Structure 1
Amino acid sequence: MPNIPMLASGGIATRATLAMIGEGRESEAILPLSKLESLINRTPSGGNLYEIHVHTGVGDPVAIGREVKSVISAYERANGRRAA
């Protein structure tokens, strides 16, 4: 029996080879490395992804979070997108 690598913890194939996939406890993605960036940067299903940095030393963090959410919701309504 040939030595077949198990790839639940990851791996990179540089040529045609046999491999065991799906033997781990979580789902696995099998794709060409050229597709990896688009998989990582995809928008989560069910909503839009925003990365927001708020620099403030004053104010209630909960109130600031609510205001940020309010501004995003107004933007999405104005642009025909679904608000979270």
Structure 2
Amino acid sequence: MKKKIISGLPNLLESLKEERENQIREVTVEHVITHGNTAAINGQIFFAEGGRLEFCDVYRFASTVKTAKIKEIKRYWIEQNF
């Protein structure tokens, strides 16, 4: 599996656009949960030509300080209506 480093929301959205021929119309975040050195976010990505992608990212940080770097990300995607 290929690893890729992406920094910042604009770069994340651009990366998603590159991976999909279909342009992103909207990104909706449902939940953000944090505890200790772990955080999770889930939501949907809606595409201009139809279809949506459900996502969940789980982050593990190097420590619990506010400036801690991300140590690991696990991403789960479920494609809907394609």
TM-score when normalising by structure 1 = 0.22
State the structure with bigger RCO (CA 8 A, min sep 6), 1 or 2.
2
Rg larger for: 1
TM-score when normalising by structure 2 = 0.23
Higher helix content, 1 or 2: 1
